[in-house]
Structure 1
Amino acid sequence: MLQIAGIALITTFLVLAIKEQKPGFAFLLILFTGTGIFLFLVDQIQKIIMMIDTLAANANVNSMYVKTILKIIGIAYIAEFTSHISKDAGLGSLAAKVELAGKILILAMAVPILTVLIETILALMPA
């Protein structure tokens, strides 16, 4: 975390220093740093996904549900990252639309899980 914080602080100071003269370059610096931080974390993300898959297999949870939940989490992170980049570029309206699209996609992917959950609850209730 210290490496990420250091990179973020250095980038912040550089962006503040060059933003007045070269705003386009400052934005690109922000974009590349954000992408670099994400790529730095890919190994950790892969380890987390493998651990969740292992836990789900040990608990006899249907892998379709686990994969769907992981996709939902991925959509949330990608939508947030894209939204923040759009806001950094001064495109707040585009950022809002990306957030809305992410929410709609998450809801669409969650419907099958919610359906099974409701059916399970109804099956447990006395008639």
Structure 2
Amino acid sequence: MLIVKIVGIAFITLFIMLLLKQSKNELNTLLTLTACTLILLIMVEPLKEIINFLREIADKANIDTVYMGIVLKILAIAYIASFSSALCKDANADSLAAQIELSGKIMILVLAIPILMAVLNSILQIM
């Protein structure tokens, strides 16, 4: 199972970090970044499956692919911002983490504008 690999990587990284905590604190950030990147790379294939599934559903439901693309971009921004923010918080860079979170939220709002316009146009056509 994939989750066992991910948890294994996380626990091995945690164990090494605990061993190095007393002597090499600056290596902990590098270890965390390496482990998180490795876990993210492991998750690429399941993410591809989810994207393909959503595309199939969109095709069957006759949903415009533009809107599905926007939704997928919004999800990607949310996950990347959350991931990056957590890494910054782990490195005690809370202000940088807050800026990443704010930037992600602004980008999501910008991408959501076409969807909001489509919803508003649909409501106006009904009235």
Match of residue 5 from structure 2: 3
Match of residue 14 from structure 1: 16
Give unmatched runs, 5+ long, in structure 2.
Answer: none
SS in 2 for 1:82: helix
Give unmatched runs, 5+ long, in structure 1.
Answer: none
The CA deviation at 1:26 is: 1.4
Runs of 4+ in 1 over 6 A off after TM superposition: none
Q: Aligned equivalents of 1:19 and 1:76: distance in 2?
A: 31
The CA deviation at 1:7 is: 1.4
The one of 34, 37, 40 equivalent to 2:39 is: 37
Q: Does 1:70 align with 2:72?
A: yes
RMSD between superposed Cα atoms in Å: 0.9
- One-letter code aligned to 1:55: I
- The range that moved more, 5-14 or 34-43, is 5-14
TM-score normalized with structure 2 length: 0.95
The CA deviation at 1:17 is: 1.8
Q: Aligned equivalents of 2:115 and 2:22: distance in 1?
A: 49
Q: Does 1:104 align with 2:106?
A: yes
| Structure 1 residues 60-90: Cα deviation after superposition (integer angstroms, max 9, x where no partner) | 1100000000000000001011101111111
Task: Give the aligned length.
Answer: 125
| Structure 1 residues 28-81: Cα deviation after superposition (integer angstroms, max 9, x where no partner) | 111000000000000010111011111101111100000000000000001011
Match of residue 28 from structure 2: 26
| Structure 1 residues 71-110: Cα deviation after superposition (integer angstroms, max 9, x where no partner) | 0000000101110111111100000000000000000000
What is the percent sequence identity of the aligned residues? 43
The CA deviation at 1:24 is: 1.5
Q: Aligned equivalents of 1:27 and 1:93: distance in 2?
A: 17
